[in-house]
Amino acid sequence: MFDRLAHVTFLAGILALVAAAPLTAEQPAITIDILATFDYPLATGITSPQGINERGDVSGFYTDAVGTRGFLRLRNGQFSPPLIDPGDPGNFTQGRDLNDAREVCGYFSEPNFSAFHGFFFLNGTFTTYDVPGATATIITGLNNAGRVCG
């Protein structure tokens, strides 16, 4: 058998510890700041921001009646023309990230998504990049040192 008084005392002690825990434990401060909400002006479907640099410029992609296009949105609210890699025969170009120089990285597809190619876009010029020997190159990140991931 068990001692009912000891059992009740034990449970009361546990409850007191549980009740006191939130008062003594320091909770981390978590905040979320909404910088802006926007839609790409030519979008007829989604607008999907993907990357932001230290300046507050944003890269991403949007959909329209024809396909998926990349974009660059400057901190002041100005948008680039649609970013469509000249080698994009599949109407699918996604801007995924950018660095402080406003160099955008991303990828585009062949028709029916049969192959993917990476790209960099800087000062109005696209540079296609395929990892040697790879069957697909999908670039999703770019830092200020020019290092990429994907």
pTM, two decimals, is 0.76
Q: What is the Cα–Cα distance from 21 to 102, expressed in whole angstroms?
A: 47
Q: What is the Cα–Cα distance from 68 to 85, expressed in whole angstroms?
A: 11
- DSSP 3-state of 105: strand
Q: What is the Cα–Cα distance from 118 to 109, expressed in whole angstroms?
A: 9
Work out the pLDDT band at 30, boundaries 50, 70, 90. confident
Is the pLDDT at 23 greater than 60? The verdict is no
- Report DSSP letters for 18-61, one per residue: HHHHHHHSPPPP-----------TT-SS-EEEEEE-TTS-EEEE
Q: Read off the tokens for 33.
A: 């700041």
What is the model's pLDDT at position 83?
96
Residue-range domain boundaries for the chain: 47-149
Render pLDDT for 60-88 as a digit per residue (tens, 0 to 9). 999 999 999 999 999 999 999 999 999 99
CB 47 within 8 A of CB 72: no
Torsion of CA 105, 110, 115, 121, to 10 degrees: -10
